[in-house]
Structures are given as structure tokens and as C-alpha cells.
Structure 1
Amino acid sequence: MPDVHLFLLIHGLWGRPNHLSEAKAELEAAWKSSSPSTTPSTDQTPCPSPSLSTGSDDTAVNSFPCTPRDDLVVVVAEGMTAKLTYDGVDVCASRVAWEVDQHIAALEADNRRVARISILGYSLGGLVARYLVGLLAARTPSFFDKVTPVSFTTIATPHLGVPRYNTLISNIVGWLGARLLSRSGEQVHLVDSYSETDPRPLLEVMADPKHVWHQALARFANVHIYANMVNDNTVPYPSAAIEPTDPFVQWVERGLKVTAHEAIGSAWELPVPGAPRRKASFHLGNLPPTLRFRWPYSWLILALFPIFVPLIALFVFFRFSLDTRRSRLRLQRLARNYANTNLPCGSEAIHIPSSHGQSIDGLRAAIRMVERSLEQDLMDAADHAGMGPSPPEVEPDSPMYPAPTIKALLTDRQHVMVHWLNQLPLRRHLVWLPDVVNAHAVIVVRDPAKFPVHNLGRSVLKHWAHLAVCDAEEVDLVKF
């Protein structure tokens, strides 16, 4: 029975499987281009893993021969598309768990055995992936006792939720996002409550070393974090990189210089005192082609702008409110289905009954049941983590580095989450895309046909795909 390396890709909020089609293609190309062999080779291409440093061009490099032997099966999650992503990180993860079970069953029916698994989550999909690995680990026996976890990657994921900045727009977006995106909006803005017995937000509970999600993530041989250094207007740097401050805010005005190769930052340096500063400029490189009209149409659009903007805002508000209501109704149906069935027991509690996923109460009950049996082990493993450091009073500055007027305002609980998540062996890869309006879609080449500028992120996908292949070979070398 041939072994299979299952690679799961999970898209983000409002996402569709085709948003990760370029990531899938790059992974399959990297896997195919590697030359399988039965013995380690010293002349294979090494796997670079750049780490950002201050004022240094040095790059940390780990070298592994890239020669994967397992068959690769890439699965892009399809059960949480578009508006279904409103239903919450936990419910979306239960739907993906059902898909994973179906794919594994189909492979086994084809006389193929899933021996290893790797996961990539983009944006909200990274949070879904983190909840998913907790669900899989909570089975009895654990899913990862039978399937080796290899590589876990998040790209532009709001690990700390959406951080607030001291700007009016940030506060408005935060207020609206927590109310117009159903449970997912509440969770990423940290205004939800996990349960009656644990009123903390879900993301804080997932970061807690006492709980199964943190423990499950620690089982992966490699955990990669990709974060945009600048220009990510959806998931700012501190949340994507799991860092307590944003050293890159107002990077143009402050004269920040970054050394990068193929969009992967390797070093940054502070400006020289007295050096001239550049003025920030606005450009329209990411506008869709339908809005790039020539004169006189461009002037007509500008003239009608004051009329159309309020109408568009009302339409968006109505549409989001309607989608949120539909999400609430879906969750109510799941709750009724759970209440009308016999409560599962043992490992069956973690297995998802259908493609609609599991109810909120069902997921909480299943996790609680498993964690009760693991409580002492989890508590012992978390003793060294403590409750986290006190948050810094101000963002550290240098006399050479002018203090920013805009700052990330992380809450105490977000600082605790940073401390807890950094107990994991994270490998950060910081992405430098200075010439785009919003790097959030560019970093995964989400829609290159409609937006050619998205191709600027292709080198990031190639970097990730190469590392994923090398991670697979590293596990094979350990086995042999």
C-alpha cells in the first residue's frame, strides 16, 4: 500500500478554492521537480529560511536535501466557501474535518494510506487550520498517532485577531467588523465568549498552552508563519507575525530600508539621523480594470462619487447584515440537529456527522470531554508558559528612528497570546511588497487573471512550496 502525503489548503474569509489554485500549482511543481532517491544526497538544493534581523544582511539557512518519496495529494477545502465562512472558526473547522475524513476514506478505498499530513491556512483559514488540528488531535486515538504531522503554515493570518491602531478608520472598521460578519467577525475582533465556563475569546483559548489546540500545533515538525511587513490593510503585521509591536508602521515617512530577496525580507535598518524623508504617496495599482477609465469617464465617475459612495455603503451594510442573519439561522439549525440527537461519547464525539459541520455546543462538549481526560498532562505541559509578560507601556523607539504617530494598540490579552504562541517553535518569513496598495491578496497570488499585480507574490509561494518539500524530506530522513 503506497504512502500518501496529504497537503490541505484552507482559504480565508469570503474565500473560494480557486483563491489557492496558484499555491496548489506551485506546490505540485516543486514536488514534481524534486528528484526522488533512496539515500540522502549532498548536492541537492538547500532550503533557505530567511529570518529578519536589525541592520544585518545575514540570513539563517537550514539545508536539507529535497527528495520527497511519498505520493502528494493536495486538497483545497471546499466546504466553507464564501458566506459559509461567516459561521465561525470552530464550525468552519468542523466542516473541513469532515472533508479530511472523506478524502482519507477515498484514498484508503483506492488502497493508498495517508501517512503524513501538512496544512496551509491563508488569512482566516489559518485560524480554521489551528482549530482543525485541535479537533484531529482530540480524537481517541489521536489522529496524529496514525498520521505524522509534518508542516503547518499560515499566511497573513490574524493570530491575535484584528489589532486596533490609534486611527479613526481602524476604530470604525473594528466596530463594524465585530457586528457585520456574524461569529467570525466576533471571533477575530475578540468580542466573543468561548463558553459559559470560560468567557475568554476563542482565539485566546486556542493560544492557551493548557488547551488541546496549542498542544496539537506543537506536534508539527515545522511551523511557518508568513506575514506582510507593510501594506496589508486586512491583517496588519503584529497579528500575522505574532509580534507585540509594529516596527514597520509609517515606513515611508520614517525612512525604513529593507533588504529583501524575491519578496522575502532578510534585514531592515534604521535611517541615518538627519536623512531626508520621503513623502507618502497614494497609487491605484490594485483597482480592477473596470475602474481604470480614461477621460472623460474618469471625471464623470469623480463627479458622481459623492452620490454613489453613500449608496454603496448602504448596500454593503444591508448585504453584510443579511449574510450575518443567514449565518445565525444556519447555526441555529446545527444547534437543533445536535439537540435532537443522542449525545456522542468517546472518540465519536470528535467525528463530524455531515458536511454541514458540528454545532457550537457539540464541538465544545467534544473538546471538553477529551481535555478532561488529558487535563493533568496539559496543565503540566503549560506550567513553564505562565500567564505571559506584562505588556510594554510604549513601543520601543531609537533616537535614530523617529517615533510613529500611528501605533498598534494591542490589548493585555493580545500580549498574553503573543507570549503563549511564541512558546511554539515558529519560523517567521516576512514578506516585503512595498509597491502594492493591499498586499493581503498579493501574498498568495489570489486572482492573477483579474489583477495582474497579484503575480508579485508568486516568489512567496515558490519560497513556501520549496520549504514544504524540504520539510517532507526532513521527516523522511528522520524515518530512515
Structure 2
Amino acid sequence: MTSTKPDHLAVLVHGLWGNPDHLKYLTTSLREKYPEDQLHILLPKRNAGSFTYDGIELGGERVASEIEEKLEELAREGHDVQKLSIIGYSLGGLISRYAIGLLYHKGLFEKIEPVNFTTFATPHLGVRTPLLGYHNHIWNVLGARTLSQSGRQLFTIDTFRNTGRPLLSVLADPESIFIRGLKQFKHRSLYANIVNDRSVVYYTAGIAKTDPFVKPDDVQINYLTGYEPVIVDGDNPISPKEPDTLPAFSQRLSTGTRTVLGRIPFMAFLILFIPIGSTIFLVNSAIQSVRSRQRIKMHEEGKAGIDVAPYRIPLLNGMRQEVEDMFENINSTQSQEYLPNGSEELAGPPSPRLSRKQSSKGMDESDSEVDSIEEHKAKVQVPTLALTPAQFAMIDSLDNVGFKKYPVYIHNHRHSHAAIIRRMEKRAFDEGRVVVKHWLDNFDL
């Protein structure tokens, strides 16, 4: 019996401080559903570990190069690849979006059909905490300087080439090769943790101006049938919950107490933890930043094994675990802030939302969808987050491209950033199985 040759390549890209082993459960699950005679799988390796400090641009060029090399290798072996899917986890989602723009510009999508693009817990809007609040300002200043070039880009304090704008802003520009390339994919989807993601909070992973899950116990969360209680219905995420019977004064007192107590972890962290733990973190960050600058220089000079010239194109028209834990612990102490009442116009017009019934190419049902959203907002008040104008612009641009958005509620572990893809074989991460099952159920071969 003659075996068939697969014509579809799936590329899985890991995140910050990561390596291909972080994607083991995604990879094995994908392989179990689609054997080697149905699907090729590529796990890029050149961004592993501290190499993720080197920035989204360099990371994207490495991934694009590995994809092209894999396609050439498969062609030599007699495989005629006709389809391409890309899956990015955490920072890997941004690196993937950059690589997509490069591949699109080089004409790859004229020969190979882009099929599935999916991100898990990816900071599409960066990792800046909302603008209001002194603690948010402190973290936005300090955090941006701890991860070399990647940190500057994630906190949007960089200036990308000669554009005068941050890389993430260029990456979401409607006229950029990156958005044009992204539009070519038949299916675009994302999965975003609604709680306990210490690295990538909901609004940035879910490309959202609001966060209806700030107090999940105060609302009724609606799940997708068959994926309860993990995958939230993105079209109708929450419903009103029966109000508590506390007297008004007691309820105000309780709310005020929670607000004060909510500040305590951050202050305690500053007083007790930073003098000890941050010394190690900052020293390691400085060392890795120096090494990263050296690698970037070698890359720019063509001494890192990749010819960068084909990718420099017009854009418009060891201590890893401890360091990761340190960054996540600091980041998780930040709180979300909101625009003052009456200033929602700063966020721009309402973003269009795609329902699951819409095709990825059409917006015919958008009017009825917007109506349903407005009816829903009338029932549950969800304030607008105090994001930057650049972040609001990113949201509008990416929403116009169209993503199927799937909020994820991990209940059983406080490290939901790892649990969402079951990054390790831990029983407490088993809710990640439901997330991966949903992804595979919607994967178009």
C-alpha cells in the first residue's frame, strides 16, 4: 500500500524564555490527530532560551528562515506542500506575526495557502499595564528595561527602524505587510486566560478594550457547550448574577476593604521581596541584555548564520525558570485601571466583533452582532480600560482583520499562563487538555 504524502505544514512557535519542549503537549496532541502521512510539523529552535531577549524582529527573521529551510527540505524529499498553519504561544505569537509579514512579502502565500493562525496567551497589545495608578507607572518604567530589546518592544518604548513608532504599532498597521499577510489566513483564532495569567493579562491576549472578568465571582460566566467550565463563549461571555443581600453600607465597606487589601501585595512585594530577589533578577537581566546586544550586532552583520538582506524590506505599503518566575511575580502585582466615566470616546469607535457564525472573510452579520453586544452591555456594565491611544488603534486594526476569540478560565492552578497549553505534565494543568481539544476540533487540515 502506497503511503500518502502530506501537503500541509504546521509551525509551532514557543514564547519568552521558552523552548520547543514547552509545546510538547500541543505537538503530541496535533500528531495524534494527524499522523505523519497527513501533516508535517515544524518546531523552530533558533529562538530558544535567552535568545528570545533579542527582539520580535530578529526572532521573526529566524522563524521565517527556518520555515523556508523546512519547505526547501521537504521539496527535496518530494513533498509538495500546499498549505501552511502557524501557532504561536505567548511571545511566539508576536514573533509569528512578524514572520508572516516577511513570508507574505516574499510571495510565499502566492504558492502556499495560509490556513490556520492561532495564538495562545499572546500579548498582542504589549504588556504595559493600564496607565492610571502610580504602581502601574513604576512597573511600565522598570519592566521595560529588564528584557533587553524584547522588553522595550513589549512595553512599546522602542522606535522601530525609521518609522518613529514602536514595533507593535507597526505590526498592527493596516497598511503594513504584517496585517496584509495576516489577512491571508483562512482561519484566525486566539485563546486568552481570564484569570491568573501572571505574564499576559486578558485584555492584551484577548485584544480587548474591556475586561468583563475582573471580578469573575460577581458575574455569571457562560461557557461553550461541550467545553465547560473552561472555554468561555466569546460572543456572550457574561450575564448578570443575582445581587448579594448585603446592605448598601456594608457592601461599600466590603468593596473599599478589597480595594485597600488589593494594594497590600504590591507594597509588601516592594518592601520585602525586591531588596533580595530583584538583585538576582536585575543582574541576570543586565547580563542577558549585553549578550543579546552582541547577538543582535552579529545578526545585523550577517555573522549569525542567517542572510538578513532578504528580510530587510519595506514595511509599510539556566536561570531561565527563576527569572521567568521573578518577572511574573512582579507583573502579577499590577492592577487594572479604567478610563473615567464619560471619557470612553478616547478609546475610539466600538470595535467590530466576529461571531462564530461569520466567515473569516465576511462581515455581513456585524450589524446584528454589534446590536447584541450593546444589549449585553446594558445588562452588565464593563468599564473601558485605560490603555494608550496606540493600543486602542492596535485593537481596531486587529479586530478589522478578524479573530475568533476564546476566553479561557483555568480554575485549578494559579499559573494559567502555563496551564493553558499544558506546558508541563501536571495534573493541575489538565484543564489545558480542554483548551487543546477545542483548538484541534477547529483545526482545518
TM-score by length of 2: 0.75
> Is 1:190 the equivalent of 2:156?
yes
- Pairing partner for 1:415 from 367, 392, 409: 392
Aligned to 1:265: 232
> Is 1:156 the equivalent of 2:133?
no
1:357 positional shift: 6.6
Paired residues of 1:135 and 1:367 also in contact (CA < 8 A): no
> Is 1:5 the equivalent of 2:8?
yes
Paired residues of 2:86 and 2:96 also in contact (CA < 8 A): yes
Paired residues of 1:99 and 1:355 also in contact (CA < 8 A): no
Report SS of the residue matched to 1:204.
Answer: helix
- Pairing partner for 2:173 from 208, 215, 223: 208
1:258 positional shift: 1.2
- Label 1:167 to 1:439 Cα distance change in 2 as closer, same or farther (>3 A): farther
> For structure 2, which runs of at least 5 residues remain unmatched after alignment?
259-270, 318-344, 351-373
> Is 1:391 the equivalent of 2:357?
no
Paired residues of 1:117 and 1:148 also in contact (CA < 8 A): yes
Tell me how far apart the structure 1 counterparts of residues 91 and 244 of structure 2 sit (CA, whole Å): 41
Paired residues of 1:4 and 1:115 also in contact (CA < 8 A): yes
Deviates more, 1:117-126 or 1:222-231: 222-231
- Pairing partner for 1:466 from 430, 437, 441: 441
Number of residue equivalences: 365
1:162 positional shift: 1.1
1:200 positional shift: 1.0
Tell me how far apart the structure 1 counterparts of residues 377 and 73 of structure 2 sit (CA, whole Å): 58
Tell me how far apart the structure 2 counterparts of residues 428 and 308 of structure 1 sit (CA, whole Å): 36
Aligned to 2:281: 316
- Label 1:307 to 1:246 Cα distance change in 2 as closer, same or farther (>3 A): closer
Whichever residue aligns with residue 89 of structure 1, its letter is I
Whichever residue aligns with residue 195 of structure 1, its letter is R
Tell me how far apart the structure 2 counterparts of residues 317 and 83 of structure 1 sit (CA, whole Å): 14
- Label 1:402 to 1:208 Cα distance change in 2 as closer, same or farther (>3 A): closer
> Is 1:94 the equivalent of 2:69?
no
1:275 positional shift: 4.9
1:195 positional shift: 2.2
Tell me how far apart the structure 2 counterparts of residues 398 and 97 of structure 1 sit (CA, whole Å): 42
Aligned to 1:180: 146
1:153 positional shift: 0.4
Aligned to 1:367: 314
Tell me how far apart the structure 2 counterparts of residues 364 and 104 of structure 1 sit (CA, whole Å): 17
Which of 1 and 2 has higher RCO (CA within 8 Å, sep 6+)?
A: 1
Paired residues of 1:5 and 1:70 also in contact (CA < 8 A): no
Larger radius of gyration: 1
1:459 positional shift: 0.9
Tell me how far apart the structure 2 counterparts of residues 467 and 433 of structure 1 sit (CA, whole Å): 20
Aligned to 1:223: 188
Tell me how far apart the structure 2 counterparts of residues 465 and 27 of structure 1 sit (CA, whole Å): 7
Tell me how far apart the structure 2 counterparts of residues 161 and 307 of structure 1 sit (CA, whole Å): 28
- Pairing partner for 2:39 from 66, 69, 72: 72
Aligned to 1:427: 404
Report SS of the residue matched to 2:314.
Answer: helix
Report SS of the residue matched to 2:21.
Answer: helix
Report SS of the residue matched to 1:20.
Answer: helix
1:335 positional shift: 2.6
Paired residues of 1:273 and 1:400 also in contact (CA < 8 A): no
> Is 1:24 the equivalent of 2:23?
no
Report SS of the residue matched to 2:32.
Answer: helix
Paired residues of 1:27 and 1:462 also in contact (CA < 8 A): no
Tell me how far apart the structure 1 counterparts of residues 283 and 306 of structure 2 sit (CA, whole Å): 26
Report SS of the residue matched to 2:313.
Answer: helix
Aligned-residue RMSD, C-alpha:
3.0
TM-score by length of 1: 0.69
> For structure 1, which runs of at least 5 residues remain unmatched after alignment?
33-68, 281-305, 339-353, 376-388, 473-480
Paired residues of 1:161 and 1:188 also in contact (CA < 8 A): yes
Tell me how far apart the structure 2 counterparts of residues 113 and 399 of structure 1 sit (CA, whole Å): 53
1:210 positional shift: 0.7
Report SS of the residue matched to 1:114.
Answer: coil
Paired residues of 1:163 and 1:408 also in contact (CA < 8 A): no
1:104 positional shift: 1.4
Whichever residue aligns with residue 213 of structure 1, its letter is F
Tell me how far apart the structure 2 counterparts of residues 120 and 168 of structure 1 sit (CA, whole Å): 36
Aligned to 1:443: 420
Paired residues of 2:212 and 2:238 also in contact (CA < 8 A): no
Identity of aligned residues (%): 32
Tell me how far apart the structure 2 counterparts of residues 92 and 315 of structure 1 sit (CA, whole Å): 26
1:447 positional shift: 1.5
Mapping of residues 226-237 of structure 1, within 5 Å: 226-237=191-202
